[in-house]
Every structure is written in structure tokens, then in C-alpha cells.
A and B are shown apart, each in its own frame.
Chain A
Amino acid sequence: MNLANKALATLSFVLLIAIWQGLALYINNNTLPTPVVVMQVFWQEIESGQLPHHLGVTLLRLIASFSIAMFLGCAIGIILGRNKKLDAFFDNWLVIFLNIPALVTIILCYVWFGLIESSAILAVVINKLPNVIVTIREGTKALDKDLLEMARCYHFSKKKTFLHVIWPQLHPFVMAATRSGLALIWKIILVVELLGRSDGMGYQIHLFFQLFDVASILAYTIAFIAVIQSIELLILKPLDKKALRWKR
């Protein structure tokens, strides 16, 4: 990003805050607190340790369910992408799982396995898994046959073929699944917590809803956005940069 673009981005951000401030002053009501009030609540919650605790719990759930979904999804996606018969067989299953509403999976998991941590994680994984599988499967189908032939001709071992021929081609698909996955899991995990957990962001927001405490809800939302942005900037962007350095 050049300087002019950076200035533009900053300006748009300031404008957003200004609109919020203006609206809040105009409405002048507890349902929309001003940015300053929200920031005060934000600091209070951090100092009391409430926000870090609940955010941490949610983050842990996110990491667990995201890792399981990505690992299983990549493995199954590659297998389906490489095997036409299996793909034809399981395609229907995928369509069905893709279309089950998240809320239904969550409720069924709680009903069948109880209000426990593992059923919360399972519900998130089931929601995310089909997406990963489909993305990685399409990536696997698009693998360059010329390069695979080359690898076969030069007797690349299975491991070598995977690491040096297949994985670099899947990288953009894995990154797409990661980004869309984080966004999706963040949203689902709150519902999971709201319905059946006694800690985490979802639980807290539910609590604030009952108290009609909009300032706290907004304060938690800001923390939320900040975390996602730092994952993007500190982990995903550098990963992209390193993996794509060969591109013209």
C-alpha cells in the first residue's frame, strides 16, 4: 500500500468513528453509547480481567475446532480430489452437510452428547468441515498434471511429491479455506457458547443482552475485531508473503 492509500484508509476509519459519534449524540440514548463510553467500558473490562478471560476461552475453542476442521478437511479434500469414485459417492453427503443450518448442528450435538466442551467443539467442526473439504477438493482437482507426470518420471517419493509438487499448488486454496473458516467459526462459536456454555464471548454477550448493556456488547465486539485483524496481519499475511515469493 502506498502513502496515498494509507491516508485514505485512515480517513475512512476516522469517518466511521465520526458517524458513530454523531449518531450517538443525536439519539442520545443508552442503546447507542458514544465511542468514548465504549472505550471506557473496554478498559474496565480488561482491568477486571473479565474480557481477557472470556476472550481467551473463546480463542482456545476457536484454535481447537479450527485445527481439527482444517486438518481433517485437507486430508479428506485431497483424497476426494484424487479419487473420482469416492468423490461421486460422498458428493451427496457433502451437499447435505453443507446445507444443514449451523443452529441445527449445535442443538443436535448438545442434545446427543450433552452440554459439554467436546460437543461444543464438535458442533463447530461439523459446521466448518464441509467447506474445507469442498475448497481443498477443487484445489486438488486443479493440480497440474504435467508436474505430477514429471514427479513420477523422476521417481519422486510420495513425501517429496506432496511437499514439493502438491502442497504449493494447494496453498492458495488452504489460505482461502483458512480465511473463510476463521470468519465462519468466529460467528458460530458465539452461538455455541450462547446456547450451552457458561463462559466465553457468546455467554457474556448473552448476559449483556439480558441486562441491555449495549456498551459492553460493543466493547467485546471491538476486542473481537482486534483479535481477528491481528491474526490476519501477524500470521496469515506473512505466511502468504513467504509462500508466494516465487511469483512474478
Chain B
Amino acid sequence: MSDIHIDIQNKTYTTADAQQHTAISDLKLTLAENKFVCLVGPSGCGKTTLLNIIANLDTQYQGEIALGLNHKKPNIGYIFQNPRLLPWRTVRENIELALDNAQPEIIDSLLEAMQLTHIQHNYPEHLSLGMSRRISIIRAFAINPDILLMDEPFVSLDAPTARQVRGLLMELWQQRPHTILFVTHDLREAIALADRLVFLSASPMSVVSEIDVDIPRADRDDEHIIESFRQHLLNHYPEIKELL
């Protein structure tokens, strides 16, 4: 695997009242291999559209995406904004279906790590949104992805759960590095997780600035360090203020 190159010249869509709307224009982005990248931008700016294009769910655009993988079918783990579980299949079946061959140990260990073993035979409609969200995270982890796309995955989790899931994400990522694209509008969360921050403008979306986060991984739990980095960013890059 090598770097990921994203070059979208133009992405338009037609609104319900037949208006042409440009969602993305001239967006160029190179992502170094196995880095954790956070995309930060105002809501509605087209971040989800970008993820859909990278996941090859949206092919109606002008431009090019090179994922730098040598196999045709890239293993992309996509954690959607809503969990997108099959309501008529149990939690465990939902995870199993994403896998090509049965790997019960992997599912067992992930369920255990997320503390969801006791509900593995329940149906998603009987669970809270937070639980469903964690299951969709397990599903994405379980396929052992080359690239992990995360669309504001921690939004409706309560603070302790979010912290715990975040910790687990880092642990799994360090065990088996892969490129992560993480969409958020929470700058603190982005600083705590990312190797690199990519700030995106409101629509038509393009890259405003790219900033590396050089805080050592060990110090990222410290809220003061995160906060002072945030202040430093806001002081040195005035252009990002209006995106938050």
C-alpha cells in the first residue's frame, strides 16, 4: 500500500427543485500511508459526500481517486453517520455478514472489548443508539480494513463510552496500522486523535489548510495539552476560525 491521492475537480448534485448545486470543487488531498487524518469542517459542507466518493458509493463526479492498493476490491471499513444495521438480523449476524468467511474469534474479541457480548443475539431495534453505533464500529473493525472511514462516529455516545471507544480505536489502530479518515466538527476530538488535521471550507468544499498534530500519543489524554494546542491553532491559523 502507498499514499492515497484524492483529486476531485467537480462534484455537483441536483436538488429537489432541479437546481444544480456544486458540493465539491477542486479538492486535492494526499494522505500518507497508515496515518490518522481528521477532516474538520462546518456541517453540511460535503464531508459525507467525500467519504462516499472514496468508498466508491458515489461515482458521479469528475476527478480521480487512487487508493494506492494493488487489489481491485479494497477493504474499506465505513462507519456511517447512522449505524445502518440490518434490523432483521441479530447483532452477531450483522457483523458476520460483513465478513467473507466466518471468523468467530475476531467477533468474540471485539464484542468483548466493546462490552457487548451479552447482547450479541438481540435484534438492533431493541438496542439503544449508542449500542447500535458501537456494533457498526465492530463491523468496520472486523473486516480488517485497508482504509477506515468514520463519519462522526462518536456523536451520540455519552462521554465515558465515547472515551472508551476512542481508546479502543487507538489500540486496534496501533496493533494493525491502516489509514483512517475521520470526519468530525469537534476540534478537540480531532486534535486528540489525528496525525494530521485537514480543514475544509463550506460548500463548494475544498481544502483550506492542512496541519500536522505533533503531540506525542502518550500525552493525548491530557486535556490541558489538547486545549493549549487548540488555542495555538486558533491564534496561528485565523482562517480556520470560521470553519468551526
Q: Tell whether A and B belong to one assembly.
A: yes
CB neighbours (8 Å) of B143 from chain A are 154
Cβ of B98 within 8 Å of any chain A Cβ, yes or no, is yes
Interface flags for B84-124 (1: CB within 8 Å of A; 0: not) read 10111100000001101000000000000000000000011
Residue in B88, B98, B123 whose beta carbon sits within 8 Å of that of A154 in the complex:
B98
Starting from the known contacts A146-B82, A149-B52, A247-B87, 16 additional A-B residue pairs (CB-CB under 8 Å) come to A146-B80, A147-B84, A149-B57, A150-B84, A152-B57, A153-B57, A154-B78, A154-B98, A154-B139, A155-B100, A164-B89, A168-B86, A168-B88, A243-B88, A246-B124, A246-B125
Closest A residue to B87 by CB, please name it. A246
* Contact residue among B55, B86, B124 (Cβ-Cβ distance under 8 Å from A153): B55
CB of B224 within 8 Å of the partner chain: no
B29 at the interface (CB under 8 A from A): no
Identify whether the interface residues of B are mostly helix, strand, loop, or mixed.
loop
Identify the closest chain B residue to A167 (Cβ). B88
Contacts of B89 in A (CB 8 A): 164, 246
Interface residues in B45-90 (C-beta closer than 8 Å to A): 52, 55-57, 73, 76, 78, 80, 82, 84, 86-89
| In the assembled complex, B241 has its CB within 8 A of some CB on chain A | no
**Is B236 interfacial (CB-CB < 8 Å)?**
no
Chain A 149-179, CB-CB to B under 8 Å as 1, else 0, gives 1101111100010001100100000000000
Question: Is A84 in the interface zone, CB < 8 Å from B?
Answer: no
**What are the residues of chain A within 8 A of B52 when measuring CB–CB?**
149
Contact across chains for B97 and A156 when beta carbons are under 8 A apart = yes
Per-residue contact bits, chain A 224-248, to B (CB 8 Å; 1 contact, 0 not): 0000000000000000000101111
**CA A156 to CA B82, docked complex, whole Å:** 19
Q: How large is the interface on B (under 10, 10 to 19, 20 to 34, 35 or more residues)?
A: 20 to 34
Report the minimum CB–CB distance from A155 to chain B (whole Å): 6
B126 close to A (CB within 8 Å): yes
Distance in angstroms from A23 CB to nearest chain B CB is 49
Known: A146-B80, A152-B57, A246-B125. A165 touches B86 (CB 8 A): yes
**What residues on B are CB-neighbors of A245 within 8 Å?**
123
Contact between B125 and A248 (Cβ–Cβ < 8 Å)?
yes
Q: Are A160 and B84 in contact (CB under 8 A)?
A: no
- Which residues of chain A have a CB within 8 Å of any CB of chain B? 146-147, 149-150, 152-156, 160, 164-165, 168, 243, 245-248
* Neighbouring A residues of B57 by C-beta, 8 Å: 149, 152-153
Chain B residue with Cβ nearest A244: B88
Minimum C-beta distance from B50 to chain A (A): 15
Asked if B80 and A164 sit within 8 Å, CB to CB, the answer is no
Q: Once the chains are docked, how many angstroms separate the CA of A149 from the CA of B57?
A: 7
Checking B55, B56, B73, B125 against A247 with a beta-carbon cut-off of 8 angstroms, the contacting residue is: B125
Beyond A153-B76, A155-B73, whether A246 also contacts B82 by CB under 8 A is no
Please, which residue of chain B has its CB at the minimum distance from the CB of A248?
B125
Listed by A's residue number, 18 A-B pairs whose Cβ atoms lie within 8 Å are: A146-B82, A147-B84, A149-B84, A150-B84, A152-B57, A153-B55, A154-B139, A154-B143, A160-B97, A164-B89, A164-B97, A165-B86, A168-B86, A246-B88, A246-B89, A246-B123, A246-B124, A248-B126
Contact assessment for A164 and B78 in the assembled complex, using a CB-CB cutoff below 8 Å: no
Minimum CB distance partner of A169 in chain B: B88
Query: Please, which residues of chain A bring their CB within 8 A of the CB of B84?
Result: 146-147, 149-150
- The chain B residue with its CB closest to the CB of A161 is B97
The 9 closest A-B pairs by CB, nearest first: A246-B123, A168-B88, A154-B98, A150-B84, A246-B88, A153-B78, A248-B125, A149-B57, A146-B84
